[in-house]
Amino acid sequence: MKKLSVLFAAVMMVVSVGMAKAQKMATLDVLGVLNAMPEKKKADADLKTFYDTKQGEIKKKYDAGQAKLKQYSEEAPKKTADENKAREAELQKIQEEIAQMQDKAQKDLQAKQEVAFGPIEKKLNDAVDKVAKANGYEYVMDANSPAFLYKAGADATAAVKKELGIQ
């Protein structure tokens, strides 16, 4: 029992010495920095244009399908059962094409986002690394994280923005 209490005391001393060496931490408003970067603003605009173009194509296909549906609905009583069945299959095919277009547009948008944001993310990370090393920060945490319970350390946002040359 005596050996156990001596061991516990020794462990507590090691832990308290480790805690005495304060780790230098800083927070960073990652979202604020990203939104201030001109490259991010341009990428967002380009992606919005791409998205709007794809949505326009899908809407055009959808409107054409709606027009056919209306036409076929009005003409259905005058057509044979086989003709109506063929028209129903055609409308089903249009619906499937629209769903495929939506899936492809979503995948294309994600691919474009990865290509567009990759260099921006690297530039931000490089600036954070440089600022952290220059200021001796051991940790830089996102100030927007919901995991924060208390924040009272240095804020690296201004230094990172300065490093990136943005306001």
Residues 144/147/148/154 CA torsion (nearest 10 deg): -60
Q: Is residue 7 part of a domain?
A: no
Q: Is residue 9 part of a domain?
A: no
pLDDT of residue 154: 81
Give mean pLDDT, residues 60-83: 92
Q: Is residue 121 part of a domain?
A: yes
Please tell me the total count of domains within the chain. Answer: 1
Give the chain's mean pLDDT. Answer: 84
pTM of this prediction?
Answer: 0.70
Between 21-25, 32-36, 93-97, the lowest mean confidence (pLDDT) is in: 21-25
Pair of tokens at residue 47 = 């992606």
Statement: residue 164 has pLDDT above 70:
yes
CA–CA separation, 139 and 25 (whole Å) = 5
Between 15-24, 42-51, 104-113, the lowest mean confidence (pLDDT) is in: 15-24
Residues 102/106/109/113 CA torsion (nearest 10 deg): 170
Q: Is residue 1 part of a domain?
A: no
Give mean pLDDT, residues 105-117: 96
pLDDT of residue 152: 61
CA–CA separation, 56 and 34 (whole Å) = 29
Which residues constitute the domain of residue 118? Answer: 20-164
Residue 128 and residue 27 in contact, taking contact as beta carbons nearer than 8 Å: no
What's the CATH code of the domain at 47?
3.30.910.20
Q: Is residue 49 part of a domain?
A: yes
Cα 61 to Cα 7, 22, 74, 94, distances in angstroms = 75, 62, 20, 8
